[in-house]
Amino acid sequence: MELAHTPDDQIFREELRGWLVEHAPPPPPPEVGPALRARDVAWQRSLFDAGYAGITWPREYGGRGLTLTQQMIWYEETARAGISHVNSLFVGVSHAGPTIIACGTDEQKARWLPPILRGDAIWCQGFSEPDAGSDLASLRTTAERDGDDLVLNGVKIWTSYAQIADHQEMLVRTDPDAPKHQGITWLVCDMRQPGIEIRPIRTLVRESHFCEVHYHDVRVPIADVVGALHDGWRVARATLAYEHGIANLGQQIRMSRTVEQIVETARARGCDDAMWARIADARADVASLRAMTALMVSRISREDLPGPEGSLVKLRYGEVSQRIHELGVDVLGVDGLEFVADDHALTYGYLASLAATIGGGTSEIQRDIVAERLLGLPR
């Protein structure tokens, strides 16, 4: 058992910390549009040029080939510098990229991976549909074979940053007669083509990064299918395990800053013993999340693939996130009613935390996964 980092890890941390002092990006503009895209791709490009993109990715595709511990340090240090990891780069860097590394052909890796790391391409995700949320495998967007192409028709929802994306990782139904988990294909759709209609959705934090995307006879070459045709569910599970696993690490680390922000607010405004008791618990909660993350990184480092334990961290994260942000607005008293459109503000965090038990698989679904796959309870 050891927490100590190797000398290499220490050097990596110190160099990154120093670099961030000079190179931290400006805060993102409030609207999803060209200015946001320009900011995000410039940030990714500067990471890439400095050797801080694709920490664990293979070297031949522009990655650094470093360890998961160094990836964790990257999340810690960028969060420490106040940089949010939830941006338009997230799907490419933390989702589509790792899936392509796991399941793509050499040609696909060479074609798609380097542009993700260089910031040349923004990716979005098309998994959920209006009638396929928790029951994702019931998705109905069709892809019919026509020569060397698949022709897509249907609707996807909760697609973040579709407005500014170049590519979309998608799950579509290629065999309507097969059992629902077996007729699904994972493919990459070019977002800059006719037949794609993007409708932004206003969320309760009054921004519009989520979209509903409609497809009318949209063409995707067969060469852009990742994994085998009809084998998309297996490919998606790799992606989802990753999402439940370390992809949320940055937000977890960031939450410890929120707790200290609450401590400062409580000291400045004053609060009673009952509130201080909740603050004490919040400090323990955020510490426990960090420890869970370290334990998960230790497990993945030994066993190579994220397992269902990722759902434990996600469950805890959702619960702790909501408890801490509720504490934040309670400490603010009546000022907790003042909405501030800045994701560092406690009231914004309070509303945003309501998504923590829904996005990426609801807590109810996570509990099913834990109960059935970890505890062995009957379905």
Residues that bind other proteins (CB under 8 A): 1-5, 9, 69, 72, 263, 266-267, 276-277, 279-281, 283-285, 287-292, 294-295, 297-299, 301-302, 309, 312-313, 315-316, 319, 364, 366-368, 370-372, 374-379
Beta carbon nearer to other proteins, 61 or 75:
75
Which residue among 22, 243, 309, 319 is the active-site one?
243
Q: Is 101 helix (H, G, I), strand (E, B) or coil?
A: helix
**Run of H or E including 282:** helix 273-303
Of 178 and 277, nearer to other proteins (C-beta) is 277
Q: To the nearest whole angstrom, how small is the minimum distance from the Cβ of residue 289 to other proteins?
A: 8
Max alpha carbon distance in the chain (Å)?
A: 70
Q: How far is the CB of 130 from other proteins (least distance, A)?
A: 24
The DSSP annotation for 155-170 comes to EEEEEETGGG-SEEEE
220: part of which helix (H) or strand (E)?
Answer: strand 210-221
* CA dist list (Å): 332 to 98, 155, 320, 338, 344: 40, 41, 19, 10, 14
- How many other CB atoms are there within 10 angstroms of residue 144's CB atom? 14
- For the CB of residue 121, give the shortest distance to other proteins in the complex, in Å: 32
Round to whole Å and give the CA distance between 249 and 132: 27
Measured in Å, how far apart are the chain's first and last C-alpha atoms?
36
Q: Which is nearer to other proteins, 191 or 240 (CB)?
A: 240
| Separation of alpha carbons 94 and 32, rounded Å | 20
Pick 1 or 204: Cβ nearer other proteins = 1
- Minimum Å gap between C-beta 257 and other proteins is 15
How near is the Cβ of 149 to other proteins at its closest, in Å?
A: 42
Distances in whole angstroms, Cα of residue 1 to Cα of each of 4, 215, 243, 286, 306: 9, 52, 26, 21, 20
Q: 202, exposed or middle or buried, with CB in 10 Å at 0-12, 13-18, 19+?
A: exposed
Which tokens sit at 273? 């013993």
- Of residues 143 and 253, the one with the C-beta less far from other proteins: 253
264 has catalytic annotation? no
- In the complex, least distance from residue 155 CB atom to other proteins, rounded to whole angstroms: 29
Q: Which is nearer to other proteins, 138 or 288 (CB)?
A: 288
Catalytic site residues?
Answer: 243
